[in-house]
Chains A and B, each alone.
Chain A
């Protein structure tokens, strides 16, 4: 049950995002001009380099000063500003929609992981749109589901919000590999990829994330977790039910077992972080209980995914 009491996005936060820019490690070829420097030469006013004149080049680009000095024809080259494709893959599986029930020891309400993912996606999408990058959003669970369609410009932000509000509810399991494979096959234009998921895939996350790198995407993982997953408040004789598979598991929980559980999940998170670091995949861990503003401004800035 979703218990997020706050609105998905408010205008105050939007004004802050105006100051942020996405920092891209590579500049990809773009079809239209966007507010980012490209290493491609183009028709801007910024001088980039010279090259030898070849038959058919525009005579207006010939540097006559060099010709006067060297008696050779050189063509001026200018930097071209290129637009960036940013893809947001949002995990919509049952585990993302899970939240710990309220109890005597847990009385606070906070966003579900899914809502948190949508807020992050909306925030980053807004930044991308504001920077005239091309933005697309996708849902995935056991496979890649529907997408929003590429949008560009801040005027298209409403489409982002609409898409995020109309998220499908399947209660499916998380399968990263088929989902990201489908994405890689579908999307030909490379760019940034943000995977917003808890990565609770029984088949693993390594191959799926590696697939993105192999397909020339600049991947970033935002692993979203619920505090109750890190420190479950479960004692006694329990029958645990998996939110995705419905499988049950009998357990008698005590302090020792909980400590062992926490060791296990922290080891998993560390392994994810280490894997991302090794494979030059951006990584950020986000708790669903952290206020969204802090999350975006602090965590993402630290990870240099955005800069002001």
Chain B
């Protein structure tokens, strides 16, 4: 054993003084009695008591000397030579996953309890004892490197916060083993968690201690919440909401769904013990352009882990379509385009149109106009031809063509019924004999004459109406804007992009030019609040739930991040205290008080022993009432 403060051992020279003081203290109180007969007789008859009477003073003196010795040793700051020769290295792993935010019956979270336990270990940091703190919050985060600065370690530990992420413990222990592999001296890993993992191999020579915190608790959680566009109706989103009951009791309540902070729907639930509840419903977001598409689901139940009672999903994003309307004047078309907030169009007179302009727009509408020398083979861009089309047959006009065939599967005719539309006249259209790379369809016919032709060549598309919209009652019907919208969506290939949903702790790579805010937003007020922005540029790994703004050029999109983990929400299992031999991760067992006791430095143990003996000495020798 080595002493960091050997000067304190000089206090041992006071031992004779203690003995002298004790001998002086031994002067007894003199009391005159009438006779000693009966006192002597008592001690003579009870020899053991007589012996104890003789020895008790000696025992008291020995206790005093032992207490003094322990105090001197504590002041001398002892340390075992084995640890001093090469020092010791301890990796403290703080489980910061979502489940550690569970509120225990005493009102404290498991995370706070875990920090307190680790704080007691920091006392061991010293000249020869280095520590590192790892935080497990979706990934292994090194909170501080190996250091023996107890103050710094405490400050670091105090600053750690729990995350909303889910992940495994094994990578953290593996990382800790790797950190300790190159260290010399005594090596130890201390893991504080509320749920242990199955055995995993570890490095020989490294002792692993698992210290449990928290108790098993009941919980109801949202384990899945996502939105996606309907394949055949991109403007409509389909929302999935899954609830789980991690308890042995029935759980009832309501799940409230908000769209941009406005209550959208309330879904009651009645969960059996350990039951599951699935809701699938559709959401048609308003056509206003200022909607963010934030869906938030909240449970109105109160349980141990409020974190998983709220979930976020972003509705699929839509980008505006840029349309060039080449027309002399068509009030109906202009109004139909204006009605769709996702369409931005420009008006151009036919004589000003140049074919090369089409590449600057998502689609070009040529209303009763066909450029000279227009060739399907060389044209670039997407076109909607109205009345004058590349397919117009010179044979003439069809008067009052009735709609006889309508392909409802055509994307142009989705949700449309045009059979009752009256056309005054229509051009006779004929598909080209040599379509080349084009693939044509005729979704609408009047007998054998096409009324609508669609064509696709790679990414290029075109549509042709044989009729003039003004020469029909189509503009007066609700089908007209839908026809225009469907046609433009098909022409531009617009598919609402499914919103990106991430799990906390999951890593997403960012494309060049993409940035994403690293702080989440959870309410509409936060969406527009001005605040300092921290951006990630290469990859993104969120640790908190909420909406994150992804920017790419001028385009923004919201990323919804949730915990959504049954492992994190199931709080019914508790870790057991383990102190493993060096060759296994978790094996054998040890009591929690023993584990905590080993966290105390040697000098503190000496001091505690001295105090315990002092109390014992008082109890044995000074507790009596004396006069």
Q: Which A residues have a C-beta under 8 Å from some C-beta of B?
A: 95, 98, 101, 103-105, 113, 198, 200, 202, 226, 229, 232-245, 247-252, 254, 256-257, 260-261, 264-265, 268
Contact = CB atoms under 8 A, between A and B. Distances in A.
A244 to B, nearest CB: 7
A246 B32 CA distance: 9
Nearest to A249: B36
Contacts of B529: none
Contact of B627 (A104, A198, A200, A265): A104
A256 B626 CA distance: 15
B1 to A, nearest CB: 37
Contacts of B39: 240, 249, 251, 261
B29 A261 contact: no
Given A239-B29, A250-B28, A105 B627 contact: yes
B29 A243 contact: no
A103 B627 contact: yes
A114 B144 CA distance: 87
A217 B37 CA distance: 29
Nearest to B41: A264
A242 B33 contact: yes
Given A242-B33, A260-B46, 15 more contacts: A198-B34, A200-B35, A229-B33, A235-B624, A237-B28, A240-B31, A240-B36, A243-B32, A244-B35, A247-B36, A248-B30, A254-B624, A260-B42, A260-B45, A264-B45
Contacts of B45: 260, 264
Interface string B483-507: 0000000000000000000000000
A249 B41 CA distance: 12
B38 A261 contact: yes
Nearest to B52: A252
Contacts of A95: 34-35
Q: Which 10 A-B pairs have the closest CB atoms?
A: A236-B626, A239-B28, A98-B34, A200-B35, A95-B34, A242-B36, A241-B32, A264-B38, A260-B42, A237-B28
Given A104-B627, A252-B53, A98 B42 contact: no
Given A104-B627, A261-B39, A261-B42, A200 B29 contact: no
Instruction: Determine which residue in B31, B41, B46, B56 has the highest number of CB atoms from chain A within 10 A of its CB, and name it.
Output: B31
Interface of B: 26, 28-43, 45-46, 49, 53, 56, 624-627
Contacts of A202: 35, 37
B38 A265 contact: yes
A200 B56 contact: no
B38 A268 contact: yes
A197 B107 CA distance: 76
Contacts of A234: 31
A243 B627 contact: no
A265 B35 CA distance: 11
Contact of A241 (B33, B49, B624): B33
B286 to A, nearest CB: 89
A234 B56 CA distance: 18
Instruction: Determine which residue in A105, A233, A234 has the highest number of CB atoms from chain B within 10 A of its CB, and name it.
Output: A234
Instruction: Determine which residue in B26, B33, B49, B626 has the highest number of CB atoms from chain A within 10 A of its CB, and name it.
Output: B33
B36 A264 contact: no
A98 B36 CA distance: 13
A105 B627 CA distance: 9
B25 to A, nearest CB: 9
A257 B42 contact: yes
A236 B26 CA distance: 11
A95 B37 CA distance: 11
Nearest to A225: B34
A243 B38 contact: no
A245 B41 CA distance: 16
Contacts of A249: 36, 39-40
A113 B34 CA distance: 11
Nearest to A229: B34
B30 A226 contact: no
Instruction: Determine which residue in B28, B35, B41 has the highest number of CB atoms from chain A within 10 A of its CB, and name it.
Output: B35
Nearest to B32: A241
18 contacts: A98-B33, A105-B627, A200-B34, A232-B33, A235-B625, A236-B29, A239-B29, A240-B36, A241-B33, A242-B35, A243-B35, A244-B35, A249-B39, A251-B39, A257-B42, A257-B49, A260-B42, A261-B38
A236 B35 contact: no
B28 A238 contact: yes
A143 to B, nearest CB: 19
A98 B28 CA distance: 21
Instruction: Determine which residue in B39, B41, B49 has the highest number of CB atoms from chain A within 10 A of its CB, and name it.
Output: B39
A249 B31 CA distance: 10
A146 to B, nearest CB: 23
A243 B33 CA distance: 6
B42 A264 contact: yes
Nearest to A97: B34
Contact of B31 (A198, A241, A252, A257): A241
A236 B30 contact: no
Contacts of B41: 264
A239 to B, nearest CB: 4
A65 to B, nearest CB: 67
A238 B34 contact: no
Contacts of A245: 36
Contact of B30 (A104, A241, A265): A241
B315 to A, nearest CB: 84
A236 B36 contact: no
Given A257-B49, A264-B41, A264-B42, A98 B32 contact: yes
A245 B35 CA distance: 9
Contacts of B46: 260
Contacts of A103: 627
Contacts of A235: 624-627
B514 to A, nearest CB: 85
Nearest to B49: A257
B624 to A, nearest CB: 5
A158 B45 CA distance: 49
Contacts of A268: 37-38
Contacts of B33: 98, 229, 232, 240-243
B185 to A, nearest CB: 52
Contact of A200 (B31, B37, B626): B37
A238 B29 contact: yes
A237 B29 contact: yes
A147 B49 CA distance: 46
Nearest to B626: A236
B484 to A, nearest CB: 107
A226 B34 contact: yes
A254 B56 CA distance: 13
A238 B49 contact: no
A283 to B, nearest CB: 19
B36 A238 contact: no
A248 B33 CA distance: 10
A137 B326 CA distance: 156
Contacts of A105: 627
Instruction: Determine which residue in A98, A229, A245, A252 has the highest number of CB atoms from chain B within 10 A of its CB, and name it.
Output: A252
B361 to A, nearest CB: 107
A2 to B, nearest CB: 14
Given A249-B39, A251-B53, A236 B627 contact: yes
A236 B35 CA distance: 19
A257 to B, nearest CB: 7
Nearest to A264: B38
Contacts of A252: 53, 56
Contacts of A240: 31-33, 36, 39
A95 B34 CA distance: 5
A236 B32 CA distance: 15
Contacts of A248: 30
Contacts of B43: 251
A242 to B, nearest CB: 4
